[in-house]
Amino acid sequence: MKITSFNPLIVTSDAERVIRLFEELGFEKEHSIQLNTGKSDVTTVRMKNADGFHVDVSDAPVPRDMTLIRMNVDDFDQAQDFLKERGFVNSRGSSSLDTETNRSAMLTSPSGFAFDLCQHIRK
């Protein structure tokens, strides 16, 4: 398994406020993506600063902001197995959120921190 990117992801119901804060810190929007999770529509904005650091902000109907570690990998199944062997639990049970360009799931550690595990689908 190869990690292809690794950065914070903030999931919030007030994305404009969070995006504005990071813009004030020198981050700029790179791109955004919209997807349906099966429960709601979510828009994620990828931001980058001049030093190459990234932060992603997802606008989702959550009762309280969540901070996760977004970990993009080249082999989703291998990475998920690696984490599950170490006690991580997939919030979707045994499934993942699959779109045309992405496969993802939130995996939470026994102590409470979480990864947004992703694999980009390249055609």
| pLDDT score for 34 | 81
- Is the CB of residue 30 less than 8 Å from the CB of residue 46? yes
Q: Read off the pLDDT of residues 53-106 as tens digits, 9 standing for 90 and up.
A: 999 999 999 999 999 999 999 999 999 999 999 999 998 888 888 888 889 999
| pLDDT score for 37 | 67
d(CA 59, CA 18): 10
Output phi, psi for 2, to 5 deg.
-115, 130
| pLDDT score for 33 | 81
Residue 39 pLDDT greater than 80, yes or no:
no
| Backbone φ/ψ region at 119: left (φ over 0), alpha (ψ -120 to 50), beta | beta
